[in-house]
Chain A
């Protein structure tokens, strides 16, 4: 069974701090990993893709991948109130589709 696990939260982080979101997955052979941001009542928006072990940075966002430990994380630096949303982790298990976690709800406290 291909599974993606996320802590549902809510995760509360003070404005300006670093928010750390984690995701674990069940298949060590997985190749592609994605983070989506979903505001309440809206559709998911792709914010990061990562394919290789290590870190990938894009602005205030950093995705970290550790295939040996089967986890992928998303760091948000200098958190802003506009970062308050649900963050979905998705994994390509090589079966022509993505499997999504249930999401972590993040709240940035001003």
Chain B
């Protein structure tokens, strides 16, 4: 059963702590993305990766870090430097080498609350 998994679904942390959100896909997609969504807002791109061992900053990368050591995995760390980390975090993947271009498929999301 192919898809994208994110864990955990809900995450609670104290201010000042780093936290890592998991994203795994078994779709054999080359590209992976992290977005943040705030209530009533659209999706804002944090980081993206087109291939293993390479990634680029999106529009709001400050306070976040990523790694792409395996094709299947793209974890996101929310650091204590992120001023307002409480949000809904969405991971997506796509296969740009396909003629379907940048169709992105999303995982179920992780809702992070920092107090």
Interface residue ranges, A against B (CB under 8 Å): 31-32, 34, 42-46, 49, 51, 88, 90, 92, 96-98, 100-103
Contacts and interface: CB of A to CB of B under 8 A. Distances in A.
Contact of B102 (A32, A88, A102, A103): A32
B33 A42 contact: no
Contacts of B85: none
B101 A102 contact: no
A36 to B, nearest CB: 8
B42 interface: yes
Among B31, B58, B103, B105, find the residue whose CB has the most chain A CB atoms closer than 10 A.
B103
Interface of B: 31, 33, 41-43, 45, 48, 50, 56, 58, 90, 96, 100-109
Contact of A51 (B56, B58, B101, B108): B101
B103 A96 contact: no
Given A42-B108, A44-B43, A44-B106, A92 B101 contact: yes
A2 to B, nearest CB: 10
B3 to A, nearest CB: 11
A44 B103 CA distance: 12
A44 to B, nearest CB: 5
A97 B109 CA distance: 19
Contact of B90 (A34, A43, A49, A96): A43
Nearest to B106: A43
Given A88-B42, A100-B43, A102-B42, A46 B101 contact: no
